[in-house]
Each structure stands twice: as structure tokens, then as C-alpha cells.
Structure 1
Amino acid sequence: MEEVLSQNEIDALLSAITSGEMDAEELKNEEKEKKVRVYDFKRALRFSKDQIRSISRIHENYARLLTTFFSTQLRTYVNISVTSVDQVPYEEFIRSVPKITVLNIYSVPPLDGRMIIEVNPNIAYALLDRILGGKGNTINKTDNLTEIEKLLLTQIFEKGIYCLKEAWSTVTDIDPILEEFEENPQFIQMVSPNETVVVVSLTTAIGEASGVMNICIPHVILEPIITKLSAHYWMQTSEKERNPESYDKLSNHLTRAEVDIKAILGESSISIQEFLDLNNGDVIGLNQSIDEPLTMLINDIPKFHVQPGTYKNKISAQILEGIKGVTDNDE
């Protein structure tokens, strides 16, 4: 594939030729020469930049969902964001993982294969501390997790499965299942050492603790949906059809929502001293004429001109007209 220059590189090249810093004839001679590009077959790049961007987009959504989930569960400050998305051999990923860490292994039916979510111990211990009522501080612990600690972490990551399912729903429907919980990466051998995997790194902050969560996705998982990881597919599916069931459910909730309605009889301004001197029988004049319609406010926003009166022995207001300049989109 020929390398595509960016607009800035094209402008710099034209500027150099115009100023005489670079000779066009030299460029022609260079093009005639055979160029050799070094290629490492052990680091086979099986995904295009476009597909990597799509994977990044999926997990940016996952990071937002996971941030909300952890914030709700832990009742503390949580911030998760995508740092990088790389394709590396599986062996390189395993070697980069600490000897003692937290590894959640998920199957993602109907897709083949399993993915790993590796959680840095700093984050894992901050999660445990917060779950057990602490401030979310991390500890320097070199021992293995206890059975109770494993159970608590397994429970919270099982609850967070819906975040992964929702993030991937833009591409395909998956049903993630947390199959294993492991601490030593050497005990995990999902694919061959030279198999290409996509590693998504998430910078994670919980309270004052910070660390990295890595998501390892083997090529075997992404292969059946590789065509859906293109910009063309995303543009085609950007406008999805309305789901009638979801629309009806949302409409029903909205129609039952309560709003605050007020009809303003008038307003007036007085000084503090006048307020202190008020007695029974005193009259405060309002700025509203009896011949003018009143203003009705919906959630403190002026919406209608109304006329006061009675209806079935209750004080009521009859809507005369809407107030110009106020639309339904106003908040």
C-alpha cells in the first residue's frame, strides 16, 4: 500500500520545492530506486487503521459506561478513559502484564474465543477498599488475593458485564460471561504466542488511586465481524430505525412526568423597611393591570397568557395564547 501524505506534509513538500530547498529531479530519481520496507512477520498487522479506530470508538463508549457503573457502585470519584489501542503478538501482551495482577476472562458468545480484562492491582485493591467501606485507598500487597477478596471482585465485574454488552451492541450483539478469575498471567494460554491480539489500555482513577486496565481481544473474536469495523459500516448504521417498543415505553414515562404550573397574579418591589412596617389590612399594589392577561409558567418558564376565573368551584386559569418566542425545545 502506498503511503498517503497528510495535507500538512503536502504543503511542506510544495513549500520546500518552491523555495529551492528540494529539487524535483532528485525526487524523481528517488522514486526510480527500489525501496525496501522492513516487515516483522512476528508482529503481523492484521487490522487497518480504520478498524483500530472503530475498536477505539467501541471502548470509549465502554469506558463511559464503566465510569458511570463504578461511580454508582462505589459512591466515589471514578474516571476511565481510553489511552491507546495497539495490535501486538499475544506473547508480548502476556510479558507486559505484572506477575501478580487481576485477570478476568470472558467468553463472548456467539463469537468464538475469549477476551481478557486485566486490572492493575492498584485499581483492584482500591475497589476492594471502597466496597468494604474504606476511602478507596490502595495498598502495597504482594500476597495473593484471599478467597473473600476474589469473590468480591468477581461479583462487581459480573455486575459490570452489561457495560461491555451495551458498548459492543453498536457492532454486534454479544452475551459476555465471566468464566475465570486468575492472578498469574502465566497460567493463561488462550491463543498461540504469535497470534495477533488487540490491546485496549484504559487509564483508570478511583478516588486517589490510579492505574491501567488492559483489554486483550484475540483476532479470532474480531474475524467474523471484521467488515463491521469500517467507517463505511458506521456511516450506514448511524441512523438506526426507531424501536417502537422503546419509543412507546419512553413516551409513557414522559406523559406521566409531573410539571410545576404557576399563574403569576402580579409582582411588586418594596424595601426591607416597608416590609417590616407591614400590618394587617395594608395593601400592596402589583404591577399587573386587571385588564391584562396573566402569565402562566411551566417549570418557571413563561409559556402562556391566561385569564383567571373559576371552574367547578375551583380557582382556574383559561389559556388564551402561547407566548411568542418560546418553543417546545426551551428548557
Structure 2
Amino acid sequence: MLDVLSQAEIDKLLKDLATGGAEENEAEAKSVAKPYDFKTANRFTKEQIRAINVVFKNFGHLLSNYLMGTLRATCDSEVLSVEEISFNEFNNSVPSPVIIAVIDTEPFTGSIILEMTKEISYSIISRVLGGTKEISAEGRQFTEIELAIMERVLWQSLKNFDEAWSKIMETSSTLEKIDTSMQFAQIVDMNEPVLMVTLNVTIGNESGLIGFCLPHQALEPFTKKLNTRHMYSGNVNKKIDADPTNIINSIRRTDILVSAIFNPTEATVRDITSLDVGDVIQLQHKVDEPLIVKYQQLPKYRASMGKFRNSLALKILEEIKGEDDNE
């Protein structure tokens, strides 16, 4: 709803129109220049930010599934924002205590930071230890045991992080260290532009924030790959060998197991346990009865047994046709 002007404001506008003051005020407003700080110049394009947003939406989905299976609780996560700021702004925005994880992701040229607020951290710790309620976080620091629990959870989460990046490039992430303060986690210069990705994670009735700090210098060699069209186009450079001759030759060189089977013979357990070396087992198979030739345990031919150049051999008599062949 529009604001209603007071009588004094109406009188001032009428006076400005009569004296020409309104035009002067408009000219002054147009002449005001906004200062541009070259130290914080934008380094990420809108297309690159959209690609990062898609990656972390996928990561949020994978993280929710992992936490749901690990904590036995309903979990959900969504990307709240993806914005470019300076590392100094990110450093000043991090509260204390907080879980800070320095992550080394190959092939990125530098480390990235994962920040997890105490609300979501204590919720995870409580459920890993068998609880269902949030641990009181007021006026206390993380213990060594709690940090060890979070370290294990973060190690498993990095697998989801790599899987989320797989549509753009193959990555391999390792956890360098885990801390509770940004004092020991300065990974780039304070004026270096970074991409701040914030996710809201809900576990049961509790929620908290997870933030990722992606320095521009770490992603700079791969900015051409940060493209949504590249993500959904698939591997266009992959060559598909559709030559039928090569396929047939490959099939012909494939090894398969061929076996000739006699009719099954029944025997009691006593007969089996009393067998000795040199004993003869009478088969329930007539001499002139054909054997069944099987390919990979599938009956294919009937054959008679004989000899060829002092070796046992089989002579194919007929093909065994199945129901599909008859049709």
C-alpha cells in the first residue's frame, strides 16, 4: 500500500514545482556516482553462480539422505543463498564456537571451508549418541569426543560432496583439519573474493546452517566448466563404437564354459561316505544315450560321446530348442 503524504509534504512539493527546485533535486540525484571498489570486483559470473547452486542443491539432497540413514530422523536441507563476498566478510560473519572444517578437494588449487553452526552440530552429536533432543549449547565449547564424532560425520559427508560435483568434474575431497574458530583457518588473503554457499539443514524439529566458502583462486582454473549447459549435456566427447564387425569379433573372443552332462545318478549318504579309491560308480546313463551339452549352464545340444585322435570328443546330434525358439 502506498504511503499517504502529509499536508506539509504536499505544500513542499507544490512550492518546489513553482520555483523549479524539483528539477534541481532530480539533477543532483542523477549526478551522484556510486564508488566502485576494485578490490572486491565480482569474479564469478551469473552462469557460474547458477551452476554452483545446482551442485549444492544436489549435495543438499544427498546430505539429507545420508543424515536420515545415520541419525534415524527426518532430515531436509535447502540452499538459502549463493553470494560473492570477500574472505574478510566471511571471516567476520562466522560465530564462535562453530565447527570449521578445512577441506582439500582435488583438483581445486587450494582449500575450501565448511562451516557448521553449533545448533545443527549439537543436534547431530546428540542423535549419534542415542539422544533425541538438542544438547544445550549455551556457554560451552565442543569437547574432544564431540569433535571426533563430527569429524567422522564430515568424512562421510565428503563422499556426498564429491558425488554432487561429479556432473561437472571428478573430485576427491579429504578433511585437512577440524577446528572451532576461524582464527586458525585463514586459507586466502582477506581481500580475496569467495563464493559463500549457505544451506539450511533441518533435523527433526531443529534447524541450523551449513556454509561453504569457495575461494575464487581455488575454482579459477575450472571456471569454464561451471556451466549449467555443460552439466546437462552429458559426455559429448565420448566416442561410441557402433561398428557391428567389432561387436561380433568381441563376442567371438569371449570365453564361455561348455560342459557335457550325464543323467544324474542318485546315491545315499552311506554310499557316498563308504567310497574308496578304485571304487566304481554305476551311472544311470545308457551307453548309446546322448549327453546334454550346456553353454554357461544352459542346455543347447544333444551329443554322442566318442574319440578323436586318442582324445575324448563329442559329436553334435541335434539342437535343443526352447519355448522361445519354437515361437
- The TM-score, its normalising length taken from structure 2, stands at 0.61
SS at structure 2 position matched to 1:176: strand
Counterpart selection for 1:103 from 83, 95, 100: 100
How far apart are residue 158 of structure 1 and its match? 0.6
Equivalent position of 2:130 in the other structure: 133
How far apart are residue 185 of structure 1 and its match? 1.0
1: CA distance, partners of 2:110 / 2:96: 23
Deviation per CA, 1:14-44: give whole Å up to 9, x if none.
xxxxxxxxxxxxxxxx9xx999554222322
Gaps of 5+ in 1: 1-29, 245-317, 320-331
Q: Is 1:137–1:208's contact at 8 Å kept on the other side of the alignment?
A: no
Counterpart selection for 1:194 from 173, 191, 195: 191
1: CA distance, partners of 2:127 / 2:133: 4
After TM superposition, list the pairs within 5 Å mapping 1:1-331 onto structure 2: 36=33, 38-237=35-234
How far apart are residue 234 of structure 1 and its match? 3.1
2: CA distance, partners of 1:130 / 1:35: 56
Equivalent position of 2:255 in the other structure: none
Give the letter for the 1:175 counterpart: S
How far apart are residue 220 of structure 1 and its match? 1.7
1: CA distance, partners of 2:228 / 2:132: 43
Q: How many residues align?
A: 216
Give the 3 Å change call, closer, same or farther, for CA 152–240 of structure 1 in structure 2.
Answer: farther
Q: Is 2:85–2:194's contact at 8 Å kept on the other side of the alignment?
A: yes
Give the 3 Å change call, closer, same or farther, for CA 204–243 of structure 1 in structure 2.
Answer: farther
SS at structure 1 position matched to 2:53: helix
How far apart are residue 139 of structure 1 and its match? 1.8
Give the letter for the 2:130 counterpart: G
Deviation per CA, 1:113-143: give whole Å up to 9, x if none.
1111100000000000000000142422322
Give the letter for the 1:130 counterpart: R
How far apart are residue 207 of structure 1 and its match? 1.4
Give the 3 Å change call, closer, same or farther, for CA 242–210 of structure 1 in structure 2.
Answer: farther
Gaps of 5+ in 2: 1-26, 242-322
1: CA distance, partners of 2:237 / 2:31: 49
SS at structure 1 position matched to 2:106: coil
Identity of aligned residues (%): 31
How far apart are residue 112 of structure 1 and its match? 1.4
2: CA distance, partners of 1:146 / 1:234: 41
SS at structure 2 position matched to 1:94: helix
Give the 3 Å change call, closer, same or farther, for CA 121–241 of structure 1 in structure 2.
Answer: same
Give the 3 Å change call, closer, same or farther, for CA 239–136 of structure 1 in structure 2.
Answer: farther
Q: Is 1:108–1:114's contact at 8 Å kept on the other side of the alignment?
A: yes
Deviation per CA, 1:124-166: give whole Å up to 9, x if none.
0000000000014242232221111111110111112110010
Q: CA RMSD in A?
A: 2.6
Give the 3 Å change call, closer, same or farther, for CA 242–180 of structure 1 in structure 2.
Answer: farther
Q: Is 1:199–1:214's contact at 8 Å kept on the other side of the alignment?
A: yes
Give the letter for the 1:55 counterpart: I
Equivalent position of 1:289 in the other structure: none
2: CA distance, partners of 1:174 / 1:80: 22
- The TM-score, its normalising length taken from structure 1, stands at 0.60
SS at structure 2 position matched to 1:111: coil
How far apart are residue 238 of structure 1 and its match? 7.4
Give the letter for the 1:189 counterpart: Q
